[in-house]
Amino acid sequence: MGTDARELVHRLQDLLRGVRLIKQRRAEERPVIPLGLVGILSQLDGLADGCHARELALHARLDPSTVSRAVATLVAHGLVERRPDPTDRRAQVLALTPDGRTALTDAHDWYARLLDRALAGWTADEVTALGAGLRRFTRDLEVALENHENLEAAR
């Protein structure tokens, strides 16, 4: 591994630590959504008028058992509801409740205020470049992981 790659590993570790601290602070200041579940709630919100748990797991790229536990917690907190699937009586559709939508909006607003403070000294071009770089990096990382999985499966 080259020196540049090692430095990047350290910066990624710093970023992950920062993200963990942000999540902890949000949970302390806005505990309506349990720690670690804003992402699942956001994923569900982005899937039209609800979805099945397996669709949510695929979309979030999480194990179905992880999604099942997260959904159970969100249902217990009144942020997600299970409705009968009109096309399959055996299945249930997951959807945000009005309280879930309000809590998610509040969480997103909290994150936006934090980022506004953190990036106050940045120019608009620097913020745009950061967003573009992160978008490209996450896309390329997913491609690299998929290629690795495909190579492993072929062996």
pLDDT at 111: 96
pLDDT at 126: 98
pLDDT at 149: 65
pLDDT at 81: 96
* pTM listed for this prediction: 0.84
Segments in the chain below pLDDT 50: none
Q: How would DSSP label each residue in 64-127?
A: HHHHHHHHHHHHHTTSEEEEEETTEEEEEEEEE-HHHHHHHHHHHHHHHHHHHHHTTTS-HHHH
With CA atoms as reference, report the closest residue to 105 among 21, 28, 33.
Answer: 33
What is the domain extent for residue 58? Answer: 3-118
CATH at residue 100? 1.10.10.10
Q: How far apart are the first and last CA of the chain?
A: 24
Domain count, the chain: 1
Does residue 109 lie within any of the structural domains?
yes
Does residue 70 lie within any of the structural domains?
yes
pLDDT at 150: 63
Coil, strand, or helix at residue 131? Answer: helix
pLDDT per residue over 117-146, tens digit each?
Answer: 999 999 999 999 999 999 999 999 999 998
Does residue 129 lie within any of the structural domains?
no
Q: Which secondary structure element, helix H or strand E, spans residue 154, and what is its range?
A: helix 124-154
pLDDT at 95: 95
Cβ-proximal residues to 3 (8 Å cutoff; 6+ apart), any chain: none
Q: How far apart are CA 26 and CA 43, in angstroms?
A: 18
Q: How far apart are CA 112 and CA 89, in angstroms?
A: 40
pLDDT at 15: 96
Does residue 146 lie within any of the structural domains?
no
Using an 8 Å Cβ cutoff, are 72 and 65 in contact?
no
pLDDT at 7: 94
